[in-house]
Amino acid sequence: MRRHLLLTVAFFVIAAIIPSVAAPPSAATDRAIVHLLNRIAYGPRPGDVEKVRAIGIERYIDQQLHPERIPDTAMSARLSGLTTIGMSSREIAENYAMPALEARRERKEDAKEYGGKPPNASAPRDPQQERANRVMIELGEQKMLRAIYSERQLQEVLTDFWFNHFNIDARKGPDRFMLTEYERDTIRPHVLGKFRDLLEATAKSPAMLFYLDNWMSADPSGPHRKGLNENYGRELMELHTLGVDGGYTQKDVTEIARAFTGWTIQNPRQAGSPARLPRWGAHGGGFVFNPRLHDDGEKLVLGHRIKARGDISDGEQVLDILASHSSTARFIATKLARRFVSDQPPASLVDRAAVRFRDTNGDLREVMRTILASPELLAPEAYRAKIKTPLEFVVSAVRATAADVQDATLLVRTMQQLGMPLYQCQPPTGYKDTADAWVNTGALVSRMNFAVSLTNNQLRGITVPSAPLSFIGGDVSDSTRATIAKATTPQQMMALTLGSPEFQRR
């Protein structure tokens, strides 16, 4: 079976790169609904097309734009076993991070005492470290489970989009213990709110303060710590707001860095941390403005003069300037249109979304409404124009097969195997959302292997019904139809369907 499937991969690699030439969806057809569910959601589940057809596309879009109105009580049961996802960063630090660090320190001391080799050196594992690792595993599990089962699909898609936009790599020091709170309290509540509020929430997040080093940025003329750090000021403009071509200069980077001096973490060397473990306590503290670290001189940012007040308002004024800038409106509109429409989004749509951003003072719900209600979304060029990322592929496959996931651990590991480990994108740019990042022979072989394991119930904690399902939607090519027709079991048919070029697209 596996050999037969892998022999089909060469065909699928070629076909996945070639855009579909099928007839475009119409708003009145099920194909249009499937197309929409592949954009606004993580793909259709059995029965979803019928539900959307019953209420109409416009009403479905409006519902998804107001997730607070959508009952989602079943998610509580799905997430009930994940004990860390409701904890604060301080609670995680005290209960998971610090015990692991203390155990590591004790092992080092034992090693010194016993000539470099502690008496338990042959122990197969470190229980405290394994317990600490559960924080990231459970964070990944909740992400997968929400994406698969939540009725608030647009909220889940946007939470992933905005986390990626304001990316933080969990592998940077203690950031892995701060990401639970960062995604839950900083990103998720703001994805359909005002962009200015989201921008400030990230600027004040201890996770972001640590990741881009602003927590230790101080007045360069003062005696404190290491002086000015420009990392956050640069990424704030290049990645978070204006874009690389947004019209700023190196002088603006420096001036913004000065404005954000003093934006730091409360008691970074004491919060929940013994003195012998400096800096690691940073993940237990919250945001604080420290005037002793602040450069209180006058600043000039993008032509706007910020008077020498010497308080937190310097940074807040910078956020006002950037959030209302025309380059920010276009940059955000382009990224959203790229995620929901095509790798090269139509200029007409970007223009309208940018205008809507400016007219509503960055109301992200209204910008999304403009994109989702646009004719460009259902245009022929947009149909199956996007290649699924590994996250989109895995989640859509689980949804399409009506799989019951009781343990999402293997799905989290699958993401790593497919080259998209959750919360571990190293550059602050986040993962790419274009086909060139994900279309290659090795990646599609790995996707096929996952499809085989999933449909044959070889993934522990995940059960797929034995009955075959029809879940591509829309047209399929003659070649795909012929390949799937070679299947001799329902499991083979499902695996070949999940591996088809049509299913790789959304």
Q: Confirm whether 55 is domain-assigned.
A: no
The pLDDT of residue 26 is above 70: no
| Residue 462: φ, ψ to 5° | -130, 130
CA distance 257 to 358: 25
Residue that terminates a domain, selected from 295, 323, 351: 323
What is the four-CA torsion angle of 74, 160, 322, 182, rounded to 10 degrees?
A: 70
Q: Which band of pLDDT confidence, cut at 50, 70 and 90, is reported for residue 312?
A: very high
* Residue 29: predicted pLDDT: 82
**Nearest residue to 146 via CA among 53, 70, 79:** 79
Q: Confirm whether 33 is domain-assigned.
A: no
* Residue 103: predicted pLDDT: 84
Q: Which band of pLDDT confidence, cut at 50, 70 and 90, is reported for residue 268?
A: low
* Residue 267: predicted pLDDT: 74
Contacts of 411 (CB under 8 A, 6+ apart): 141, 144, 394, 398, 405, 459, 462
Q: Confirm whether 69 is domain-assigned.
A: no
**C-alpha distances out from residue 21 to 52, 165, 220, 379, 474, Å:** 25, 32, 59, 12, 12
Contact 367, 352 (CB under 8 A): no
The pLDDT of residue 343 is above 60: yes
CA distance 393 to 395: 6
**Nearest residue to 43 via CA among 337, 401, 288:** 401
pLDDT, tens digit, 9 for 90 and up, residues 219-254 = 988 776 679 999 999 999 999 999 999 999 999 999
Q: Both 134 and 106 in a single domain?
A: yes
Query: Which residue has better confidence, 127 or 138?
Result: 138
The pLDDT of residue 121 is above 70: no
The pLDDT of residue 71 is above 60: yes
Q: Confirm whether 56 is domain-assigned.
A: no
Q: Both 371 and 391 in a single domain?
A: no
Question: At CA 250, angle to CA 248 and CA 253, rounded to 5?
Answer: 80
Residue that terminates a domain, selected from 382, 405, 426: 382
Percentage of residues in the chain with pLDDT exceeding 70?
Answer: 86
Contact 92, 180 (CB under 8 A): yes
Instruction: Give the number of domains in the chain.
Output: 3
Q: Both 211 and 360 in a single domain?
A: no
CA distance 172 to 165: 17
**Nearest residue to 75 via CA among 136, 164, 143, 130:** 143
Long-range contacts of the stretch 57-63 (C-beta < 8 A, 24+): 57/27, 57/32, 57/33, 58/373, 60/36, 61/36, 61/369, 61/372, 61/373
Q: Which helix (H) or strand (E) holds 288?
A: strand 287-289
Q: Both 120 and 220 in a single domain?
A: yes
* Residue 310: predicted pLDDT: 85
Query: Which region, left, alpha or beta, applies to residue 464 given φ > 0 means left and ψ of -120 to 50 means alpha?
Result: beta
By three-state DSSP, how is residue 264 classified? strand
* Residue 107: predicted pLDDT: 77
Average pLDDT, the chain: 89
The pLDDT of residue 76 is above 80: yes
Contacts of 125 (CB under 8 A, 6+ apart): none
The pLDDT of residue 358 is above 60: yes
Range of the structural domain that residue 358 is part of: 326-382
The pLDDT of residue 502 is above 90: yes
The pLDDT of residue 108 is above 80: no
State the sign of the Cα–Cα–Cα–Cα dihedral 273, 277, 278, 284: negative
Q: Which band of pLDDT confidence, cut at 50, 70 and 90, is reported for residue 109?
A: confident
* Residue 339: predicted pLDDT: 98
* Residue 307: predicted pLDDT: 94
Q: Confirm whether 61 is domain-assigned.
A: no
* Residue 106: predicted pLDDT: 79
State the sign of the Cα–Cα–Cα–Cα dihedral 222, 220, 320, 308: positive
Q: Which band of pLDDT confidence, cut at 50, 70 and 90, is reported for residue 316?
A: very high
Q: Both 227 and 289 in a single domain?
A: yes
The pLDDT of residue 281 is above 90: no
Q: What is the mean pLDDT of residues 193-214?
A: 97
Q: Which band of pLDDT confidence, cut at 50, 70 and 90, is reported for residue 277?
A: very low
Q: Both 410 and 340 in a single domain?
A: no
The pLDDT of residue 473 is above 70: no
Of the ranges 42-51, 146-155, 268-277, which one carries the lowest mean pLDDT score?
Answer: 268-277
Of the ranges 281-285, 323-327, 465-469, which one carries the lowest mean pLDDT score?
Answer: 281-285
The pLDDT of residue 195 is above 60: yes
Q: Confirm whether 29 is domain-assigned.
A: no
Kindly provide the b/e burial profile for residues 434-452, where b requires at least 16 CB atoms within 10 angstroms of the residue's own CB.
ebeebeeeebbbbbbbbbb
pLDDT, tens digit, 9 for 90 and up, residues 416-464 = 999 999 999 999 999 999 999 998 888 889 999 999 999 999 999 999 9
CA distance 244 to 463: 45
Contact 364, 192 (CB under 8 A): yes
Q: Which band of pLDDT confidence, cut at 50, 70 and 90, is reported for residue 475?
A: confident
Q: Give burial (CB, 10 Å; 0-12/13-18/19+) of 250.
A: exposed
Q: Confirm whether 345 is domain-assigned.
A: yes
Amino acid, res. 391: L
* Residue 5: predicted pLDDT: 46
Residue that terminates a domain, selected from 345, 367, 382: 382
CA distance 411 to 391: 10
| Residue 275: φ, ψ to 5° | -60, -30
Q: Both 349 and 476 in a single domain?
A: no
By three-state DSSP, how is residue 306 classified? strand
* Residue 6: predicted pLDDT: 45
State the sign of the Cα–Cα–Cα–Cα dihedral 303, 304, 310, 314: negative
Q: Both 136 and 241 in a single domain?
A: yes
Q: Both 460 and 476 in a single domain?
A: yes
Contact 395, 147 (CB under 8 A): yes
Q: Both 183 and 246 in a single domain?
A: yes
Percentage helix, strand, coil for the chain under 3-state DSSP, each rounded to 5: 55, 5, 40
pLDDT, tens digit, 9 for 90 and up, residues 301-310 = 999 999 988 8
